[in-house]
Amino acid sequence: MSESSVEKKQISKEGLEKYIEELNFLKGEKRTEIAEKIKEAREQGDLSENAEYDAAKNEQRDIELRIEEIENIIKNAEVVEKSDLKKGTIGVGSHVKLLYIKENDEVEYDIVGASEADSLNGKISNESPLGKELFGKKKGDVIEVQLTRGKLKVEILKVS
């Protein structure tokens, strides 16, 4: 796959800043900490039966994988600013208040890029079924979302 065929993923400015912060921490402080753990474990002698050495090497591998993952996210990120959105229209970076009509339940979500999604903390992906249906809509619109458990009918109460 060529470099130009990699699909850009939308991400909020705040989300990108969090990834950059985590990357700097992992490449700096965390790498130094792991190198020290490995050095201390080596000094204990026989590496073939050294649990501390094995644990430190495994942690090092996990950190390097996370660094690679974050670098790919950053490289393929398309930062979406709230100012890029048409006023009152839902997109990445929008905060929405919804009414689940059947349940008569109000919920609030932030619409974020897929890599930032965290439904337990009210952040839903623009690529999720609900996020896709909300994209481009505005206050007062009523949408239906097909989920595995059936259809969900939602009214958009507020967009900011």
What pLDDT, on the 0 to 100 scale, is given for residue 132? 92
> Which DSSP helix (H) or strand (E) runs through 131?
helix 129-134
Please give the CATH number for the structural domain made up of 3-80. Answer: 1.10.287.180
What's the confidence (pLDDT) of residue 83? 56
Length of the chain: 160
128: how many CB neighbours lie within 10 A of its CB?
18
**Residue whose tokens read 């979406």:** 80
Domain boundaries, the chain: 3-80, 84-159
**48 pLDDT more than 90:** no
Task: Work out the pLDDT band at 123, boundaries 50, 70, 90.
Answer: very high
Q: Which tokens in the block code for residue 10?
A: 């939308």
Q: Which residue has the higher pLDDT, 106 or 41?
A: 106
pLDDT > 50? residue 1:
no
List phi, psi (to 5°) of 98: -120, 155
Look at residue 3 in the predicted model and tell me its pLDDT: 47
What is the per-residue pLDDT for 25?
Answer: 97
Q: Rounded to two decimals, what is the model's pTM? A: 0.67
Question: How much is the mean pLDDT over the chain?
Answer: 88
Average pLDDT over residues 99-128: 91
pLDDT at 6 over 80: no
Mean of the pLDDT values across residues 55-76?
Answer: 94
User: What per-residue string of b and e applies to 53-89 under the rule 16 or more CB within 10 Å gives b?
Assistant: beebbeebeebeeebeebeebeeebebbeeeebeeee
CB 143 within 8 A of CB 154: yes
- Which CATH entry fits the domain spanning 84-159: 3.40.50.300, 3.10.50.30, 3.30.300.30, 3.40.50.970? 3.10.50.30
pLDDT tens sequence across 25-39: 999 999 999 999 999
Please give the angle made by the CA atoms of 145, 133 and 113, to the nearest 5 degrees.
Answer: 120
Residue 66, pLDDT above cutoff 50: yes
